[in-house]
Amino acid sequence: MLTSKQRSKLKTIAAGIPAAFQVGKGGISDAQVRQIDDYLRAHEIIKINCLDNSLYTPLEAANELSERLNAEVVITIGQKAVLYRKNPDKPLIEL
């Protein structure tokens, strides 16, 4: 569980990164979950864009991905969602 201070720091970091993945009308596939898992292992934070034709709202997509990836939802705003998962081996972001 993230504290409000940690969440605030992660929001600041997320503001400067582009969306790395998109969720479209095809939903969230297992292959996409594996790719996001690899991305989180390398970067610890990810921004996801939900397209207008997506079956998911950004909050629904973020909640499903956070459950499947054991990650934390930092924020959902507009069509974007930000997830965070600490890398236990080589942490990049100091909270």
Are residues 58 and 76 in contact, defined by beta-carbon separation less than 8 angstroms?
A: yes
User: Can you tell me the distance from the alpha carbon of 87 to that of 23, in angstroms, rounded to the nearest whole number?
Assistant: 24
To the nearest whole number, what is the mean pLDDT of the chain? 93
Structural domain includes residue 92: no
What's the pTM?
0.91
pLDDT, residue 93, reads 87
Q: Which tens digit of pLDDT belongs to each residue from 1-12?
A: 889 999 999 999
pLDDT, residue 89, reads 86
CATH assignment at residue 67? 3.30.110.60
Q: How many domains does the chain fold into?
A: 1
pLDDT band at 80 (very low <50, low <70, confident <90, very high): very high
Structural domain includes residue 28: yes
